[in-house]
Chains A and B, each alone.
Chain A
Amino acid sequence: MPPPCTRCQSERAVIVRPKNYDKLCKTCFLEVFEAEVHKTITTNALFYPGERVAIGASGGKDSTVLASVLKTLNTRHGYGLDLILLSIDEGITGYRDHSLETVKRNAVQYDLPLKVLSYTELYGWTMDQVVEQVGKKGNCTYCGVFRRQALDRGAASLGVRHVVTGHNADDVAETVLMNLLRGDLPRLSRTASIVTSTPSSAQTDIKRSKPLKYAYEKEIVLYAHHKNLDYFSTECIYSPEAFRGSARTLVKDLERVRPSSILDIVRSGEDMATLVPASVAPKAASGRESRYGGENVSVVYDLDEGTGGCGSANGRDSGGEMARMEHQLRTDQNAATHGLETEVTMASLGTPTSGSSIAVGVRPSHVQMKKANGKGLRQQTAGACERCGYISSQAVCKACVLLEGLNKNRPKASIGIEKTNDSETLDKGLAKVTLAEKKRQQVAQTEL
């Protein structure tokens, strides 16, 4: 005979919460789960009444639960949000077909509008075409960079300034450990923050938030199960990064030893973010005003261009990424020992595919070497890509760099068929974006 639910004391407990071993009945579990997400939303003042919010929807469990819970809470607590599902079609045969069907059904089930944007529309390349061009190895970089921009670009084209994603506590914990292992303080400083923003650059000033940041993956699965949600078990089919895979395994082991570990890592991540030297973590507070959310929400600028790959690692990589970083660090070390200093460039790191994710991780040590000469840590500065206007710390953003490489090598026949190049496509995308921006400004003016 199962014990009674510890919350209502009447129903039979059917769920042991993975987070803290509380024994709950089904109704109480669903309520508690929703209440916790509501608490996350209110204490962080994530939304304002009347805000248009795009839910990055993949058809997977996280974004499906996010959509369902937001819809529920929006009605229950009168948030007054204008919710829309935003899906990106990467153009991976057999991968998106089913999940897009799921998202379409979700749109009907939750009575939410849906917008699907394809990579062809955004970049002129499907992921299948990219893979055909660069091979299976390293396409994870393209996947990451393109996906990173896709949601922002998609949102901008809809005139939506706020994208919510289904990142859960496990994802955040894993990223905290990964960034510690990679020695990546700039990313560490924003991983734990619930709201990030890509600053300035009119087209891409998009606020991003993670309402499920404190929700355990296991509880998301339980929620989806007990709510009979319709989702698709997805997993990126391309090669994952070793660092993330390694961190993921460790998080899972830690969770088994102490279930609160996931939350504890998230907490540590938040606390450590405040210890990152200001020079490596640009914050809205230092210079720019945040125009979003409640008064005290600190918006962390996210200059991440998705170079960490698509983030769907599963520990299957043989460790190539780690081996490359190890090699680069040793080269730096040798150079330092022998009084030389080498500039870490994309070129010196080999192919842009493998290199760009390494470059980020390598910098700290490189900077360490330079420290003797006076200057401390790397400072990221925000600017706009001179080609597409997307936020970038470089003159040309990662996507444009990758596209240039792709287009240069595109078989003649294929160019003939597609009749497109990166700047054209991006120009088209931007035209849309600019239109949307104008519309938004008009709306803002009429409101005034």
Chain B
Amino acid sequence: MASRNHERGVNGLGQQCRRCQANESSIIVRNEALCAECLVKYIQTKVIKRLESFRVRHSAPGRPRKLLLPLSLGISSLTLLHILDGHLRGQRSNTGRTGYALHILHVTTSVQGQWAADPALLKKVKECYPDHVYFAIPLASIFDGDESNGARNTTSAGDHVPSSSSNQNRLDTLLTSLPTPASRSDIISILQTRLIVSFARTAGCESILWGDSTTRLAEKVLASTAKGRGFALPWHICDGPTPYGIDFHYPVRDLLKKELLEHAPLATSSVADIATAPPAPPTPSAAVNVRSSTIDGLVAQYFLKAESDYPSIVSNAVRTAAKLEAAPSDRWGRDGSVCRLCKLPVAEGLFGVTGWGGGRDGGVESRGSEGELCYGCTRSVPRDVVSLLP
């Protein structure tokens, strides 16, 4: 392991590690100067602590609980995989069995103008962490049958489920019909979530373990708010049951993205080597072409800076937002009143963008999608594009 020699002589770096009092510290984590070993321990502990309910004694022998880990191949989901892999090996050597089994799913998103990880990297991941079942499915397979009924067939044996070219065409048509990059980025992430959820349910997984870091969750808080998706915020950031009929867990929620980046090269060469990330969004300036910017990009940019200057404020914002309570099911409106696109429950009368205090009576803004799509989805999908939705 390459010892990272930080040349920052400040903040007690180079002095004794605050935790073990033995090694020389090389990193400042939350005000404490730590050595590499203690940082690795710190990161592991933060994640494992979130997995209390998946201990061996909570599972029946011979029937480990199946959990889905969506792998974007970015730093957060890879770190989560790395830690869970170690966690499982620990369970096996301690008790001879494991509390859960991992299904790893990578959604390939080959969409023009959209960043995507190199799928070949998945092979490398498999070599490093061979004990799990891996799947890769293209985003376009969202058009396979009606996945909302859980009827979609998955060839669970194969690594790749090929998507027919007609599905790819439908996806391309949908995305090119959307008016702005902001809408495209929004819709792609919604379709990804839907696809992952339906895969998890079909595969019989009881929970999805998302790799979102504190920083990513903070982005979600502001981005969801900015997109008019505030009503659904708890379902995007809280641990527990969701209206999708499957539990969501965010085991990396207590760690900042910058901490994961510091940790990766210390923990294992594989994560650092494989981890890919979308290119940093351009620094906003007066000259930036807002027509090519997205809400997600803007917010990511915002937290890139906030995370380095005010990490505790970022964590605090996420902790606080997670205290919001999801709308109880008796406020969801009639049976089946979910948004046609994001599939989340919408309260009676709150579909579309006109039926509220800030909406207008009829007029230009009224859309055919009123009554079908939630507020946020209506903003992203123009009326004439609704028929193209999966």
- Residues of A at under 8 Å CB distance from B? 6, 20, 22, 36, 39-40, 43-44, 169, 176-177, 180-185, 194, 213-214, 250, 253-254, 256-258, 260-261, 263-272, 274-277, 319, 322-323, 325-326, 329-330, 333-334, 364-365, 368, 377
Contacts and interface: CB of A to CB of B under 8 A. Distances in A.
State the 10 A-B residue pairs at the shortest beta-carbon distance, nearest first. Answer: A268-B230, A183-B320, A264-B228, A329-B312, A271-B231, A256-B290, A275-B324, A214-B358, A268-B225, A272-B230
Contact of A180 (B225, B231, B356): B225
A184 B320 CA distance: 7
A1 to B, nearest CB: 22
Contact of A267 (B31, B358, B360, B365): B358
Interface of B: 30-31, 180, 182, 221-222, 224-231, 233-234, 284, 290, 293-295, 298-299, 302, 309-313, 315-317, 319-321, 323-327, 350, 353, 356-358, 360-361, 364-365, 375-376, 379
A22 B293 CA distance: 22
A6 B363 CA distance: 10
A328 to B, nearest CB: 8
B323 A377 contact: yes
A438 B54 CA distance: 66
Among the interface residues B180, B228, B311, B327, which one has the most CB atoms of the partner chain A within 10 A?
A: B228
Instruction: Determine chain A's interface SS by DSSP, over half rule.
Output: helix
B229 A43 contact: no
Given A20-B364, A272-B225, A333-B30, A266 B358 contact: yes
Nearest to A273: B230
Given A275-B324, A326-B310, A326-B312, A261 B226 contact: yes
Nearest to A263: B358
A185 B233 CA distance: 14
Contacts of B31: 330, 333-334
Nearest to B179: A258
A176 B317 CA distance: 12
A365 B319 contact: yes
B225 A265 contact: yes
B379 A258 contact: yes
Given A44-B357, A365-B319, A275 B30 contact: no
Contacts of B317: 180-183
A322 B313 contact: yes
Given A264-B376, A368-B319, A257 B222 contact: no
A268 B226 contact: yes
Given A256-B290, A329-B312, A267 B226 contact: no
B358 A258 contact: no
B183 to A, nearest CB: 8
Contacts of A258: 180, 182, 226, 295, 379
A333 B323 contact: no
A377 B322 CA distance: 12
Nearest to B291: A257
A326 B233 CA distance: 24
Contacts of B353: 260
Contacts of B290: 253, 256-257
Given A258-B180, A266-B358, A364-B320, A22 B226 contact: no
Contacts of A43: 357
A272 B313 contact: no
B323 A257 contact: no
A170 to B, nearest CB: 13
Contact of A257 (B30, B294, B312): B294
Of the listed residues A20, A43, A254, A269, the one surrounded by the most CB atoms of chain B closer than 10 A to its CB is A254
Nearest to A17: B364
Contacts of A214: 357-358
A274 B226 contact: no
A66 B77 CA distance: 51
A272 B324 contact: yes
